[in-house]
Structure 1
Amino acid sequence: MTGRKIGIGITISVVVAAALIGTGIRYVVDYQPKLTQAGVSGTVKSSGTARIGGAFSMVDHKGRQVTDRDFLGKFMLISFGYTFCPDVCPTELQTMSEALDALGEQADKVQPVFATIDPERDTAAVLADYLSNFHPRFIGLTGTTSQVADIARTFGVYYSRVKSQNAPGRDKDYLMNHSAYMFLMDGNGKFRAAFRAGIARDGMVRRIRDELAK
């Protein structure tokens, strides 16, 4: 185990993106709860090729320019969110951290990534500080508003700003609605699986091992 447990009051209210429906996705979401929000129930098998993933250009949490090509050669497990997220995002990152620990030596074949959908507040330095709470191999991604919009579109991720009702006069006091999926991409940048927020660590580990074995 990681020993990086953080005290999170978990009240998961997942915002599932309509964008995921519109991307023409046909994939298996094994080991997950029912996908009722996406119009799918039960467990389905992966088939076909999903239009998930592609070219992107971002800045990592160390301030370096990176592109999708920098992640080729390893599997990538990527989550989208923001550092001010009160519940879903830290829960996803903790699950990813625990899954990597459970993978043992196989974890070296998987690069965990957290991409912000809130570039206004999530600078490289903010991401670096936030990710220090989770697995040490996490890479954070931020960028310009345009760059963030591009990578979100590439992965079929929906997001929007929700103004705080408690402090309407403060420009930076807001929450973000966003889709809550973690995507597994292979070493060639091809989509392999999506994990819904709330998935158990063991379910994620089983699926990743299955994909690594192919």
Structure 2
Amino acid sequence: MKLTQLQKVLWTLAGAGVIASGSLSLWVDYRGYSTRQVQEPAFGADFELTDHQGTVRTDDDFAGQWLLVFFGFTNCPDICPMTLAEIAAVMDGLGENASRIQPLFITIDPERDTPEALADFVPRFDAGIIGLTGTPEQIGQTADSFHIYYDKIEEAAAPDGYTMGHSSQLFLFDQSGGYAASWQYGTPAEEILTDLRERIAE
């Protein structure tokens, strides 16, 4: 499996972001949110949000497809671009089976992440990722249904004077929208791809 040139560039930029914002990453890690796998009882994908083309989408729109779901924000300097680059590598590695899986990027920063902002961001990863946003209330409800943590953090050096702390696991939901698995941040794309191939072949 080979990364595209864009993905290599994103990995390089993301690596630089890790150095620049290591304190934030460590804050999230030490709080126990970014490295734990979900241990909650079975739950399902449940949302009604607006995609990066301005269309209202619900979980019902993706019935019959597997879903790869990641929560983040477009101004994220490290965790989000690195994870989305991994998703792109996984989708590339799936070959013909990629059509069976829909990756979703759900923002936890609706104040800045409008459909227009997502439309500028998600296509950069060239993986068919759909960006989703909504009102703060909608994002809060969606985060609750996915058992996701997020928090607005004041940071003078960040765009608009704040950044976001958030859970960073990658979720997998089956063709019926039921929770199937999750991978913690930093899991290699090859490991995710191997696991995913086994699951969708069942």
In the other structure, the counterpart of 2:78 is 87
- Matched-pair contact (CA < 8 Å) for 1:182–1:197: yes
1:96 to 81, 87, 97: 87
Cα distance, 1:55 vs structure 2: 2.3
Q: Report the TM-score, using the length of structure 1 for normalisation.
A: 0.80
Cα distance, 1:16 vs structure 2: 5.1
Gaps of 5+ in 1: 21-34, 41-45
In the other structure, the counterpart of 1:199 is 187
1:175 to 160, 163, 178: 163
How many Å separate the matches in 1 of 2:139 and 2:40? 24
CA 1:68/1:4 → structure 2, altered by over 3 Å: closer, same or farther? same
- Matched-pair contact (CA < 8 Å) for 1:195–1:204: yes
Gaps of 5+ in 2: none
The percentage of aligned residue pairs carrying the same residue is 35
- Matched-pair contact (CA < 8 Å) for 1:50–1:191: no
Opposite residue 71 of structure 1, the aligned amino acid is F
Residue 141 of structure 2 is aligned to residue 139 of structure 1: no
- Residues 38-95 of structure 1 deviation map (CA, whole Å, 9 limit, x = unaligned): 4x8xxxxx9x983443421100000001111111110000100000000000000000
Opposite residue 197 of structure 1, the aligned amino acid is Y
How many Å separate the matches in 2 of 1:16 and 1:190? 27
DSSP 3-state at the match of 1:80: strand
How many Å separate the matches in 2 of 1:17 and 1:141? 28
Q: Report the TM-score, using the length of structure 2 for normalisation.
A: 0.85
What do you get for the CA RMSD once the two structures are aligned? 2.5
